[in-house]
Amino acid sequence: MTLEAVPHPSGPVALHVVGDVDLATAPFLAEQVGDWLAASPRVVLDLSGVGVFASAGISVLLDCQHAAVAAGVVLELYCGAARQVRRVLQVTGTCEHLRVLDPHPPPETPDGRAPLFPVPD
**Over the stretch 57-91, which tens digit does the pLDDT of each residue have?**
999 999 999 999 999 999 999 998 888 999 999 99
Question: What are the residue boundaries of the structural domains of the chain, listed by start?
Answer: 2-100
Count the Cβ atoms, other than its own, within 10 Å of residue 2: 10
Look at residue 12 in the predicted model and tell me its pLDDT: 82
Closest to 66 (Cα-Cα) out of 18, 30, 16, 90: 30
Q: Where are the beta strands (DSSP E) in 23-93?
A: 42-53, 74-78
Q: Phi and psi (nearest 5°) for 91? A: -65, -35
pTM, whole model, 2 decimals?
A: 0.81
Fold annotation for 2-100 = Transcription Regulator spoIIAA (3.30.750)
